[in-house]
Amino acid sequence: MIVVAPKQKSKLKDFKDDFWKTKDVKISLGEIASIDEIAEEKREVESSRVEGPTPKPNITDLRSWDMKLMGRYEPFYAPFCDMCCLCTFGKCDLTNKKGACGIDAAAQQARMVLLASCIGSACHSGHSRHLVDHLIEEFGADQPIDMGMNIDIQAPIMMTVLGKTPKKLGDLKEAMDYLEEQMIHLLSSCHTGQEGKSIDFESKALHAGLMDNLGMEIGDIAQIAALNLPKGDEDAPLIELGVGTIDAEKPVVLCIGHNVLPGAGIMDYMDETGQEEDLEVCGICCAAIDISRYNPQAKVVGPISKQLKFVRSGVADVIVVDEQCVRTDVLEEAQAKNTAVIATTDKICLGLPDLTNEDSDRIVSKLVNKEIEGALILDPAKVGEVAVKTAKILSPERKTLKMLPDLDEVQKLASECTECGWCVRVCPNGQPMMDAVVKASEGDFSKFEELYTNDICYTCGRCEQECERDLPLMSMLAKVGEKLSKEEKFNIRAGRGPAQDVEIRRVGAPIVLGDIPGVIAFVGCSNYPNGGKEVAEMAKEFLERNYIVLTTGCGAMSIGEYRDEEGKTLYEQYSGEFDARGLVNMGSCVSNSHVVGATIKIANIFAKKPLEGNFEEIADYILNRVGACGVAWGAYSQKAAAIATGVNRWGIPVVLGPHGSKYRRLYLGRADQADSWKVKDLRTGEVMEGEPAPEHLLYAAETKEEALPVIAKLCIRPTDTAKGRQIKLNNYMDLYKRYFGELPPDIHLFVRTEKDIPITYKKDVQNILKEVGWEPRKVAQEPSLMGMDGD
Amino acid sequence: MANERVIPWQPTVIAGPKQALLVTPETAELMIKKAKRPLLILGPLVKEDPVLSYATRIAEKWDLPVVTTADAYKSFKDKGLDPTAYGVVEIVNLLKDPEWQGVSGKGQHDLVIFLGCIYYIGSQGLSTLKHFAPYLKTLTICKFFHSNADASFPNMKDEEWFNYLEKMGKED
């Protein structure tokens, strides 16, 4: 059993009253401690008093927790590839065989998940390292970390994992150092001839996920503290969102990626030179969110699905790429439209000359005169100056390039289609591109419009690469959608950063007891099976049902691109408060850390669980008591894999869209195996029957209609009060009945006593319970996996 | 190209050297006849007519226990079948457990027939079974060639596919 009691590092001697009678007492004056040393000792004792068992855990320190999770949620593998192609022993076919190194298919899948999690984690953490180093250089290591008036728990992940609270920017370096050390060990495990068992690869993947969560927190805290982004502000401003909000008459600078620094440099230069109104600065992906957190004048074009369409539209005079989620052919695409490209970080150099130390005007001259294909500039301030100056020069001469081929030309191109159908076969979603082209050849563009609307086609461009006639299908789509894009004018609430402690204090009890039926986080990318509308519809469904809905990144943008019957976006309809019916945009990808952070804060603020170095107890609390569920309906990247794996380790289940099955591994529970749901009641020490709550830890749903009831179900937790359980079951039953026509067949598993039965379904549920021979069961007051087998 | 019928519908799902055997309705029927505990899994792409009716008739003719995935349940229930609803990943997870007693409680299935799951998640599920359920065979009767199955219909246009399904559901 893991003991969370304080560890006293130095123990004072127990002197009795008859001390002076004690024989053989030796006093050495040289050993008398100074006042400073005593103070230090006191600090150490203070610190040790609250430190849990695993400060700065190494790879195997949380292994026992991972094994408990996997005891319930056995990894489910769906190989994407039957072979291992990593080393020169192979290729090895692992179909019911081992590889030349001895690895089997399960271990290989787990290794690929570990690798993906390491890549994703490195992506966020490399980004954070860049931010921390740059911001320390600019603001100094002593720049205080102040997350706002109502936020005392400034870094819940860092506190829990490292056992320390960062007070100033310089403190973040220690966290980065720890994280980087762990990442080296994790990545090394992927090497041929190292780890051999799938469950240990899994444990390491979970650790990589945890490092990812930590890295994201470091990054967002650094930028919030140094760049003064909103600090848990429920009234963060509304930002303009959508292609239609961009004034193409002005010089346009488009930022793509995730790192705020170059975008901030652009905004600063515009401010300093009084050109705020003269240019349009807009962004795609998380850079857009973070730049608009920095300066609300920046506009958000939209999620990653807008990338190729918008670049092809030629609206941007200058494209500034930073890191992550940027099309790797961005330079080629931009050149076709005479758009200048500036690369700005070491992660994406695009083969461009490093002109960081070059005079700004000379760089501008080289760019506008086409002496260079683009420029690599690693100084954000210089990026700002060059981007603005270049855009202003290029804009007038690019007027004609901001127009796509006219519709007659689209029709003419479409008439060349041979109807081979390969555009549909290579489409990740099998969308009917050929039908759209055939119709367009007849002058009917409605099918193209259907593909354009809500990014049903997310413009990966695979169809174009396959077309035997080399039809520019994405440009044709962009042209047909041009008219529609003018109407794409929405509002998104700027990313507010973390939940305030006072908000957590207010909602902690209702969440843990079940009165607020759940906290659902819509995160992830935009490779949706049927466009972004489904994400917004899911968010709306849960907002109407009184859940707290969190969101970040591309998910936040997709939600913002939807209008309800009254023509309002959900951000205009619902408050940004961390409370029931709140739609809380926490920010960009790195702000996903605040989703986890909120659940950790619940454990601390509501349940008084100490955080420092106390991962397992906190995760156990979250798993058993905090009804949170992540939804990554369009998860596409290794970053999304890392995020999900990390939040899973904290005990938070995640539902993926159907593409999520390509991550190769899920964590599925077995409701039919009663033994796997046993819990220990910490109040009594009794090990007792549990319930499949949450039933799965990582799940891929095939359709939205399947996902909705699953999400509601995964918010059920063993500690729900009877009233809370009624509310949760009512939602689950409602949604299941809507799409399946009857009540869920597993409802008896979640009814502990008659009091749990929702009043509206009382008779029906009672009949089901009778049919299956249900008996009421004892409810654990403090359900836990701590102290169970494996400790 | 002749081989277009027998390369995966989404050509990039090709996973390795082992490819599905191309089958006709007649061969598919032989596989069902030979199986002791077959199972039919119906996905959300066949919850509307005419394939809804074809699928129903196949289930009835061969007296197949039916699992529906996603939200296909209601359509088939309304058609008079008595399906069990699972997520596609849930049913595949159960199928890969040799100890699971099947939807009828009579033992793990030995043949699983897939129809109408979304192609790429279906392909992933078939991959799971290929690797981790060596005791069962998988057959797909979708209009797409599924290389991760043991046996599959070829890529077809609707009309040919409907003929295939009709044959399989026709009383002898």
What residue ranges in A687-786 does DSSP mark as E strands?
Answer: 687-688, 698-700, 783-784
Residues of chain B positioned with their CB less than 8 A from the CB of A426: 10-12
Kindly list the averaged pLDDT for each block of 10 residues, start to end, along chain A of length 791: 36 38 40 46 48 95 97 97 96 96 98 98 97 97 93 96 96 98 98 97 98 98 97 95 94 97 98 96 96 97 94 95 97 96 97 98 98 98 98 92 79 96 96 97 96 94 96 93 90 96 94 94 95 97 98 97 92 97 97 98 93 97 97 96 98 98 98 95 94 98 98 97 97 98 97 97 97 95 84 60
pLDDT digits (tens, 9 = 90+) for A113-168: 999 999 999 999 999 999 999 999 999 999 999 998 899 999 999 999 999 999 99
Predicted pLDDT at A404 = 64
Predicted pLDDT at A149 = 83
CB pairs under 8 A between A and B: 121
pLDDT digits (tens, 9 = 90+) for B24-68: 999 999 999 999 999 999 999 999 999 999 999 999 999 999 999
A23: Cβ contacts below 8 Å, ≥ 6 apart:
none
Predicted pLDDT at A305 = 93
Q: What is the pTM of this model?
A: 0.94
Is the CB of B124 less than 8 angstroms away from the CB of A662? yes
Closest CA to A631 of A584, A701, A680: A701
What is the edge-to-edge ordering of all strands in the sheet holding A628-632? A74-77, A665-668, A698-700, A654-656, A628-632, A519-522, A548-552, A583-587
B89 in A contact zone (CB under 8 Å):
yes
Predicted pLDDT at A10 = 34
Is the CB of A705 less than 8 angstroms away from the CB of B127? no
pLDDT tops 70 at residue B159: yes
Q: What are phi and psi of A330, to 5 degrees?
A: -60, -35
Tell me which DSSP letter residue B113 carries: E
Q: What are phi and psi of A675, to 5 degrees?
A: -65, -30
B128 in A contact zone (CB under 8 Å):
yes
Predicted pLDDT at B3 = 82
pLDDT tops 50 at residue B1: no
Predicted pLDDT at B171 = 84
pLDDT digits (tens, 9 = 90+) for A519-550: 999 999 999 999 999 999 999 999 999 999 99
B124 in A contact zone (CB under 8 Å):
yes
Q: Is the peptide bond before A694 cis (omega within 30 degrees of 0)?
A: yes
Tell me which DSSP letter residue A770 carries: H
pLDDT tops 60 at residue B111: yes
Is the CB of A105 less than 8 angstroms away from the CB of B78? no
Decide: A588 and A524 in contact? Cβ < 8 Å: no
Please give, rounded to a whole number of angstroms, the shortest distance from the CA of A683 to a CA of chain B. Answer: 34
What is the edge-to-edge ordering of all strands in the sheet holding B84-85? B21-22, B151-152, B137-140, B111-115, B38-42, B66-68, B84-85
Q: Which residue has the tokens 């300093």?
A: A272
* Residue in A closest to B95 by C-alpha: A76
Closest CA to A224 of A264, A175, A267: A264
- Count CA within 13 A, CB hemisphere, residue B151: 18
B130 in A contact zone (CB under 8 Å):
yes
* Residue in B closest to A698 by C-alpha: B89
pLDDT digits (tens, 9 = 90+) for B137-149: 999 999 999 999 9
Is the CB of A79 less than 8 angstroms away from the CB of B73? no
Predicted pLDDT at A151 = 94
Strand partners, B22: B152
Predicted pLDDT at A7 = 36
Predicted pLDDT at A46 = 47
Decide: A301 and A288 in contact? Cβ < 8 Å: yes
A742 in B contact zone (CB under 8 Å):
yes
Is the CB of A426 less than 8 angstroms away from the CB of B117? no
Which amino acid appears at position A714 of this protein? L
Is the CB of B89 less than 8 angstroms away from the CB of A700? yes
* Residue in B closest to A424 by C-alpha: B10
The pLDDT mean for chain A works out to 92
Closest CA to B95 of B68, B124, B59, B135: B135
Residues of chain B positioned with their CB less than 8 A from the CB of A772: none
Q: Which residue has the tokens 């190494």?
A: A58
ipTM for the assembly: 0.98
Predicted pLDDT at A100 = 97
A702 in B contact zone (CB under 8 Å):
yes
Is the CB of B43 less than 8 angstroms away from the CB of A741? no
Domains of chain B, earliest start first: 35-169 (3.40.50.1220)
Please give, rounded to a whole number of angstroms, the shortest distance from the CA of A717 to a CA of chain B. Answer: 20
Residues of chain A positioned with their CB less than 8 A from the CB of B118: 529, 658, 702-703
Is the CB of B128 less than 8 angstroms away from the CB of A76? yes
| Lookup: tokens for A224 | 């919030």
- Tell how far CA A674 is from the center of its chain: 32
Closest CA to A451 of A559, A305, A349: A305
pLDDT digits (tens, 9 = 90+) for A550-565: 999 999 999 999 998 8
- Tell how far CA A552 is from the center of its chain: 7
Decide: A280 and A274 in contact? Cβ < 8 Å: no
A96 in B contact zone (CB under 8 Å):
yes
| Helical ranges in A314-414 per DSSP H | 330-335, 360-368, 380-397, 407-414
Predicted pLDDT at A452 = 95
Predicted pLDDT at A407 = 87
Which amino acid appears at position A657 of this protein? G
Q: Is the peptide bond before A405 cis (omega within 30 degrees of 0)?
A: no
Predicted pLDDT at A789 = 66
B129 in A contact zone (CB under 8 Å):
no
A669: Cβ contacts below 8 Å, ≥ 6 apart:
A72, A73, A676, A677, A692, A694, A695, A696, A697
Closest CA to A551 of A605, A507, A594, A604: A594
Predicted pLDDT at A51 = 83
Strand partners, A458: none
What is the C-alpha separation between A430 and A423, in angstroms, rounded? 8
Predicted pLDDT at A787 = 81
Greatest Cα pair distance in chain B: 45
Q: Kindly write down the DSSP assignment for every residue of A573-601, as one continuous string.
A: HSB-SSSTTBEEEEESGGGHHHHHHHHHH
